[in-house]
Structure 1
Amino acid sequence: MSKPILEVDNLQVSFKMSAGEVQAVRGVSFTLNKGEVLAIVGESGCGKSVTAQTIMRLVPTPPSYIKNGSVMFDGKHDITKLSESDMEKLRGQEMGMIFQDPMTSLNPTMTIGEQIMEGVRKHQGSSKEKARERAIELLNLVGMSNPVERLSQYPHELSGGMRQRVMIAISLACNPKLLIADEPTTALDVTIQAQIMDLLKDIQEKTGTSIILITHDLGVVAEMAQRVIVMYAGKVIEQGTLNEIFYDPRHPYTWGLLRSVPRLDSDSNSDLASIPGTPPDLFAPPKGCAFAARCPYAMKVCLEKDPEHFTASDTHSAACWLQHPDAPKVERPIEVGVRSNG
């Protein structure tokens, strides 16, 4: 079996603030295989975007700092130990990122063509003419109409969906081995969201690029991902294949996420389920399970000791004391699955 393209081991990232230390990422570990789409899901503030931006070394330092752990890329680069100049060689060439809001990510003073060509010329040493040809090729790849005309336009002249296509083109300019898509459809309407996700899926199938998809939209996950990581309060609390997470979830937080998704096959008059309460304060995380205060199944041990990951299969594990062999049996809520086209 080929070596994973990415191996994250016990990653811990904190922010030094005037009020104290915010423990944003608290011991995250996972792998990403070559050609795989891995989704990281969870509510706002769970640490998924900080994890992604740490992999790209884009989190400002200070106030952030990596307390512990390693991020091994392509079996030869520990991202946490590389200098900024070495990271600049990796970013764009071997690692690309699609950000949440293309309007704030694109440079308003540069044309679309200049922004796409910049990475090609820097990393591949291409001439201006060759870079221009590559830019046109990329705009065609992402389904942009009139690509030659678009080269001379500025971001404010394009719609939100078109700007996001330009962001994808920039991230793919040098055929990266890893692509991180951080909430790539957040600022778009539903119709354009579907088009962008179809585009990403098509590009992944054509190029074989490994993708980390950061999202809170489980419908998007069902369309694209092969494996899913569920994060809560800076930790991975469950991970498994798409079918394992959607149809055999083991953590009460995952149950809550899945039950909060509207379903076409449910009673239209029924209330949409929600998870009561709020996430814990990461200035002072609880010593036990971070979800215990919101969990209807919490036991005494949940408040006192952080659970280990209990294995359900070779690919599926959950950090929940309910999975302990001696734990009381709990009946999982019905209708936790989200239908997938996969």
Structure 2
Amino acid sequence: MENRILDVDDLRVSFKTYVGEIQAVRGVSFHLDKGEVLAIVGESGCGKSVTAQTIMRLIPTPPSHIKEGSSVLFNGKHEITRMSDKAMEKLRGSEMGMIFQDPMTSLNPTMTIGAQITEGLIKHQNMSKKQANERAIEMLKLVGMSNPQGRIHQYPHELSGGMRQRVMIAISLACNPKLLIADEPTTALDVTIQAQILDLMKQIQHKTDTAIIIITHDLGVVADIAQRVIVMYAGKVVEEGTLEDIFYNSRHPYTWGLLRSVPRLDSDSKSELSPIPGSPPDLFAPPKGCSFAARCPYAMQVCKDNDPAHTPITDRHSAACWLLHPDAPKVNRPLEVGEQAHG
């Protein structure tokens, strides 16, 4: 598969604490092709960010622990789970980039914007300071910053939230990485700036053909940028498919719940959202059956006793749900989910 940039297979990550082991990621598998945009969605605490940061090897070990048998193969040749810290340092920044959720805490307040962009260029690309400065100005132009020659001398606190996020994107893209991971890149921004940042990411992805993983709980962001979607719950992938599969033909009750809980612009202002009742399971001791069974209105006894395997729906769409078993009772997708997807 020469187009394959990332292969994640049976990734399991735990955190050892004084009260026990938290099984944060429990057997996650997916792939990413060159130039593709993949969204990973789910509630807070479902394992999205842990998965992303494990791919970048940014989670300290200990307390985290990547379980035996987990595999993260980058570009067909780098087994991330077994690489040394020194080898990972060379890979991060040069071939893999990451945009973090809050640029104010991710940027160094004591360094100018220019110094933070040129740092990686000098280290990974062996550029002179002059070449790196020229590249930094070029990157700030690419991300739509006005007066880039002046901006490189400014500090993060002198910029707005949207500008800081643009700087984060410039830093992550400066060395032309093959993979860009964006962890909730628009959460702290107002809707106007959020739209600008998403447009910017789409333009850059089109120009550079960088593969992107976007981590989010916002299905509006997903609809705007992604080509494929992974839905995570309690540390597992419960459904995956193309954007159209997830929005128009989703088959897992958890995905239906996510779609029903999205506010709609065309609905009556008095209409209420439909939140998913209950809370996610305790990952100190995950349930033996389907993790969503306690919150699922369609749960059967088999759901509580046995964890469902993924059932293929098409060659690119699958879901882990006992309702897809041939002997399961027929359950129609809730009407309002279809309306939400088309709304």
User: Which band: TM-score by shorter chain?
Assistant: over 0.9
In 2, Cα distance between the equivalents of 1:130 and 1:264? 48
User: Does the aligned pair in 1 maintain the 2:248–2:342 contact within 8 Å?
Assistant: no
- After the TM superposition, which residues 220-239 of structure 1 pair with which residues of structure 2 at under 5 Å, given as runs? 220-239=221-240
Question: Paired residue for 1:23?
Answer: 23
Give 1:270 shift.
Answer: 1.8
Question: Paired residue for 1:256?
Answer: 257
Residue aligned with 1:97, SS:
strand
Question: Paired residue for 1:286?
Answer: 287
Query: Structure 1 regions of 5+ residues with no counterpart?
Result: none
In 2, Cα distance between the equivalents of 1:257 and 1:148? 44
User: Does the aligned pair in 1 maintain the 2:39–2:228 contact within 8 Å?
Assistant: yes
Give 1:265 shift.
Answer: 3.3
1:116-138: CA deviation from partner (whole Å, max 9, x where unpaired) = 00000000000000000000000
In 1, Cα distance between the equivalents of 2:268 and 2:259? 16
Question: Paired residue for 1:316?
Answer: 317
Question: Paired residue for 1:14?
Answer: 14
In 1, Cα distance between the equivalents of 2:44 and 2:28? 17
In 1, Cα distance between the equivalents of 2:265 and 2:151? 39
* Structure 1 counterpart of 2:282, one-letter code: D
Alignment partner of 1:189 is 2:184: no
In 1, Cα distance between the equivalents of 2:103 and 2:61? 23
Question: Paired residue for 2:63?
Answer: 63
Structure 1 runs (4+) greater than 4 angstroms displaced: 337-341
Percent sequence identity is: 77
Question: Paired residue for 1:306?
Answer: 307
TM score, norm. by length of structure 1? 0.98
In 1, Cα distance between the equivalents of 2:9 and 2:133? 40
1:270-311: CA deviation from partner (whole Å, max 9, x where unpaired) = 211110000000000000000000000000000000000011
Residue aligned with 2:335, SS:
coil
* Structure 2 counterpart of 1:67, one-letter code: K
In 1, Cα distance between the equivalents of 2:115 and 2:342? 39
Question: Paired residue for 1:160?
Answer: 161
In 2, Cα distance between the equivalents of 1:304 and 1:267? 41
Residue aligned with 1:134, SS:
helix
CA RMSD of aligned residues (A): 1.2
Alignment partner of 1:111 is 2:90: no
1:230-279: CA deviation from partner (whole Å, max 9, x where unpaired) = 00000000000000000000000000000111223333332111100000
Alignment partner of 1:132 is 2:133: yes
In 1, Cα distance between the equivalents of 2:74 and 2:191? 34
In 2, Cα distance between the equivalents of 1:2 and 1:227? 19
Question: Paired residue for 1:40?
Answer: 40
Question: Paired residue for 2:333?
Answer: 332
1:285-340: CA deviation from partner (whole Å, max 9, x where unpaired) = 00000000000000000000000001100000000000101100012111325558
1:161–1:340 Cα change, 3 Å = farther
Size of the alignment, in residue pairs?
341
Residue aligned with 1:60, SS:
coil
In 2, Cα distance between the equivalents of 1:198 and 1:220? 11
User: Does the aligned pair in 1 maintain the 2:259–2:341 contact within 8 Å?
Assistant: no
Question: Paired residue for 1:82?
Answer: 83
User: Does the aligned pair in 1 maintain the 2:5–2:32 contact within 8 Å?
Assistant: yes
User: Does the aligned pair in 2 maintain the 1:275–1:294 contact within 8 Å?
Assistant: yes
Residue aligned with 1:275, SS:
coil
* Structure 2 counterpart of 1:122, one-letter code: K
